[in-house]
Amino acid sequence: MIRVMAAVVGRHGRVADMDRSFDISYWQQQGSNGIFGAAWQMVIDYYSLTGRDVTELEFQRSVEHFRRS
């Protein structure tokens, strides 16, 4: 079993006074795998919340033959 320790990161202040530097810094620290994982989780959440079947997101294995041309 793999255990992942998640850190909670926050920022306080008035929304009108905030710029995007915090968000940019956070996502740059996550790297490509973290960004992709978060985006994929949002897709799964959307499917679940709209009542769609999450198994539709699985890889479709419908290719019968593959030939190089």
Residues 18-51: tens digit of each pLDDT: 888 888 998 999 999 999 999 999 999 999 999 9
pLDDT of residue 47: 93
Percent above pLDDT 90 for the chain: 35
pLDDT of residue 45: 93
Burial of 27-39, coded b for 16+ CB within 10 Å and e otherwise, reads: eeeeeeeeeeeee
pLDDT of residue 38: 93
Confidence of residue 3 (pLDDT cuts 50, 70, 90): low
Domains of the chain, residue spans: 24-54
